[in-house]
Amino acid sequence: MVQRYVMSIDQGTTSTRCILFDARGRLVSVVQREHHQHFPRPGWVEHDATEIWRNVTRIVPDALAQAGVGAGQVVGLGIANQRETTVLWDRRTGAPVSRAIVWQDTRTDQMIEYLSREPAAKRVRELCGLPLTTYFSAPKIRWLLQSTPGLQERAERGEVLFGTIESWLIWNLTGGLHVTDVTNASRTMLMNLRTLSWDNELLEFFDIPRAMLPEIRSSTEVYGTTTTVVPGIRIAAALGDQQAALFGQTCFAPGEAKCTYGTGSFLLLNTGQNLVLSKHGMLTTVGFKIGDEPAVYALEGSIAVTGSLVQWFRDGLELISSAPEIETLARTVEDNGGCYIVPAFSGLFAPHWHSEARGVIAGLTSYITKGHLARAVLEATGWQTREVVDAMNADSGLALSTLKVDGGMTADNLLMQFIADVLDVPVVRPMVAETVSLGAAYAAGLSVGYWPDLEGLRRNWHRAGQWLPAMAPSRRDTEYAQWRQAVELTFGWMRPSTNTARPPRTDLIEVILDDHRQIEHLLRELRNEDADRTSLLAELSAVLTAHFTATERILHKRVGIDVTALSEEDLEDAVNAHIRDEERLLLNELRRSLSPSDRTALGRAFRHLSS
Ligand SMILES: Nc1ncnc2c1ncn2[C@@H]1O[C@H](COP(=O)(O)OP(=O)(O)O)[C@@H](O)[C@H]1O
Ligand SMILES: O=P(O)(O)OC[C@H](O)CO
């Protein structure tokens, strides 16, 4: 009898894997390729979507060749992908309009700051389950539409399309099918979690044209058939990679949870058909949706930096030459020597959601060696997990009893033991560590009837490793308190008032936004009863007069606020209305109408008058 297999593509942050699985969920072949990480400015992270596609065109035939399998033996393909990462491409040529903006990228932090002051901002979380931060796709789309002249209009005409990576790959594999699955759509900030469709209020809030969005489908269904690379394979499932890991760990029932330790780490708890809105900094997201069945929701604790801290230790500090060496180095010392590393490289994600936070190394003394630093690197992953589990327990009202883990970092025994110690629960790892790929394969196999039901898949789960808690409670409590103290130190690092190192900006939009933030800062200070009001009022008056003069002379727009004639309260109202109108209407108009060189020239002139 001809053997049949399921194929999965796991398009991750650092690499893309193609794996063939047999009916018992065993790996038959694995091919992997890394792609470049682009860091063009501090806080910016980009991928070349064309390079990712090219890698897919290579690994798919290679995985078949390695196993000696023909396309006809593949019952279906499941795709799992890094989530949120935003690709915009031309509908006609299929070419990306720019590099993809990666989920870790923080360039939209200022945009988030002003959007969060909009009255409608409080609706965002209610509608899509996500906090308003740089992490998700909508601000990234907004940024691309604003920063490229003419792109907004082209998007409105449906000439430019948006997709997360699975959408981009399906488009290319099928020669033009524009779809996404609910799990990926739930990470855009544009999907209504209850209706599972694009939400008008959210589209309006982010000013994103509906015409550029893909059709939302379930996670397991046949979307289409490949027409290129290896033609004739049914694309039968797509899930965000962390949801795929939830599926691969067979967390099918409410109350089951897993944490995947890769570049970042992501703890997901299945909450069934119950959509739980977190009060403690978790996200609400779609876990999976099998065909026509109702969606299964999940609570998620996303940690931005875990494995990537090990990479930084290796590539940035060059203290080790391979990731596994971190464990050897950490074992050269007994403990962390009082040193803590809080890796807020992309701000802090769950449960804090501080976009302006930046990393710290705390507790340094001359006693500290690179061994202690290595321990602090690994412990950072443990403590971040602890914070997320505490928040998850508080939201669900239940105490997690075991943690199922997977991902590259689970090869580290010292780390796994530390996680069991700080959580005070057993940590278990399954036989198949490639849980993301397995989950995508399970979903595809289920979709085409290769596997009959979820119970059959559960039987494939076998424990390969277990770590039991062994830390004394008093030590755990003391060290956790120190960790939390170190976390506090990261907050507020990038606020405009403390960021003196940055050169003055010249882009007109940024210059105006900087002025607005300074004005708001002064208004806030005035509310402080202990402040020196006389000098603050004088400063505010000078800043406002200069800003309004620049607005009238450079933008030829009458402001009509008499700074000297209004009471303090009326002045505050009038200034807030001015800021709101300008940011909502005028700045968008300027973004559309001005060329980059005009924006720089006018920005310089504006700054000259307003400072
Ligand atoms: N033995 C180890 N100890 C600690 N971290 C490790 C170890 N091996 C790999 N890593 C980290 O795990 C990450 C790779 O895991 P993987 O699951 O492949 O990530 P992703 O899917 O996000 O690309 C890297 O960031 C690497 O630094
Ligand atoms: O590609 P990974 O494994 O780093 O996962 C990235 C997440 O999907 C980001 O939300």
Place of tokens 């009898």: 1
- For 233, half-sphere exposure in the C-beta direction (CA atoms, 13 angstrom radius) is 30
Sign of CA dihedral 580, 584, 589, 592: positive
Residue that wins the pLDDT comparison between 369 and 527: 369
- The confidence score (pLDDT) of residue 503 equals 54
Long-range contacts of 599-605 (CB under 8 A, 24+ apart): 599/507, 599/508, 599/509, 600/506, 600/507, 600/508, 602/508, 602/554, 603/505, 603/506, 603/507, 603/508, 603/509, 603/510, 603/511, 604/506, 605/550, 605/554
Give the pLDDT confidence of 91-144 residue by residue, as tens digits. Answer: 999 999 999 999 999 899 888 888 888 888 989 999 999 999 999 999 999 999
Would the CB of 264 count as within 6 Å of ligand 2? yes
DSSP letter assigned to residue 159: -
CA 15/CA 165 separation, integer angstroms: 13
What separation in Å is there between the alpha carbon of 297 and the centre of ligand 2?
Answer: 18
Asked if residue 263 belongs to a known ligand binding site, the reply is yes
Q: Which of 242, 259, 267 has most ligand 2 atoms within 8 Å of CB, for mutation? A: 242
Would the CB of 305 count as within 6 Å of ligand 1? no
Return phi, psi of residue 339, to 5°.
Answer: -105, 135
Across-strand partners of 283? Answer: 300
Mean pLDDT, residues 457-480 taken together: 92
- The confidence score (pLDDT) of residue 165 equals 98
Give the SS3 label for residue 462: coil
Residue 497 has pLDDT above 70, yes or no: no
- Note the pTM of the prediction, 2 decimals: 0.79
Give the SS3 label for residue 590: helix
The set of residues, in sequence order, having a beta carbon less than 8 Å from that of 390 and lying 6+ positions away, is 280, 351
Would the CB of 13 count as within 6 Å of ligand 2? yes
Mean pLDDT, residues 312-338 taken together: 96
448, two tokens: 């085409």
pLDDT confidence band for 502 (50 / 70 / 90): very low
Asked if residue 241 belongs to a known ligand binding site, the reply is yes
Chain mean position to CA 585: 28
* Average pLDDT score, the chain: 92
369, two tokens: 């060696």
Give the pLDDT confidence of 552-579 residue by residue, as tens digits. Answer: 888 888 888 888 888 888 888 889 888 8
Would the CB of 113 count as within 6 Å of ligand 1? no
- The confidence score (pLDDT) of residue 487 equals 96
CA 105/CA 85 separation, integer angstroms: 9
- ipTM greater than 0.95: yes
> Of 123, 142, 119, which Cα lies nearest the Cα of 131?
123
pLDDT confidence band for 504 (50 / 70 / 90): low
- The confidence score (pLDDT) of residue 558 equals 86
CA 73/CA 422 separation, integer angstroms: 46
Would the CB of 84 count as within 6 Å of ligand 2? yes
Sign of CA dihedral 483, 489, 494, 495: positive
Mean pLDDT, residues 423-447 taken together: 94
Q: Which of 45, 409, 410 has most ligand 1 atoms within 8 Å of CB, for mutation? A: 409
What separation in Å is there between the alpha carbon of 264 and the centre of ligand 1?
Answer: 9
- The confidence score (pLDDT) of residue 287 equals 97
Asked if residue 135 belongs to a known ligand binding site, the reply is yes
pLDDT confidence band for 609 (50 / 70 / 90): confident
Chain mean position to CA 45: 11
Mean pLDDT, residues 235-250 taken together: 97
Please name which ligand lies nearest the alpha carbon of 330.
1
Q: Are strands 340-342 and 427-430 parallel, antiparallel or unpaired?
A: unpaired
CA 514/CA 578 separation, integer angstroms: 14
Residue 233 has pLDDT above 90, yes or no: yes
Give the pLDDT confidence of 334-348 residue by residue, as tens digits. Answer: 999 999 999 998 889
What separation in Å is there between the alpha carbon of 209 and the centre of ligand 2?
Answer: 26
The neighbour count for residue 390, using CB atoms within 10 Å, is 18
Atom 5 of ligand 2: nearest residue by CA position: 82
- The confidence score (pLDDT) of residue 181 equals 97
Asked if residue 285 belongs to a known ligand binding site, the reply is no
Crossing angle of helices 596-610 and 508-526, in 10° steps, is: 40
Asked if residue 14 belongs to a known ligand binding site, the reply is yes
- The confidence score (pLDDT) of residue 500 equals 39
Ligand 2 atom closest to residue 84's alpha carbon, by position in its atom list: 10
Task: Go through the chain and tell me how many residues it has.
Answer: 611
Give the pLDDT confidence of 269-280 residue by residue, as tens digits. Answer: 999 998 988 899
488, two tokens: 């506090």
Give the SS3 label for residue 278: coil
The set of residues, in sequence order, having a beta carbon less than 8 Å from that of 122 and lying 6+ positions away, is none
Q: Are strands 265-272 and 283-288 parallel, antiparallel or unpaired?
A: unpaired
266, two tokens: 């992501």
Distance (Å) of CA 243 to CA 430, 439, 440: 17, 8, 9
Ligand 1 atom closest to residue 15's alpha carbon, by position in its atom list: 23
Ligand 2 atom closest to residue 11's alpha carbon, by position in its atom list: 1
Would the CB of 327 count as within 6 Å of ligand 1? yes
The set of residues, in sequence order, having a beta carbon less than 8 Å from that of 382 and lying 6+ positions away, is 415, 418, 419, 421, 422
CA 421/CA 403 separation, integer angstroms: 12
Would the CB of 418 count as within 6 Å of ligand 2? no
Mean pLDDT, residues 515-532 taken together: 81
Task: Please list the alpha-helical segments (H only) found in 157-274.
Answer: 165-174, 182-185, 200-206, 241-248
> Of 188, 134, 187, 189, which Cα lies nearest the Cα of 494?
134
CA 195/CA 210 separation, integer angstroms: 16
Please name which ligand lies nearest the alpha carbon of 331.
1
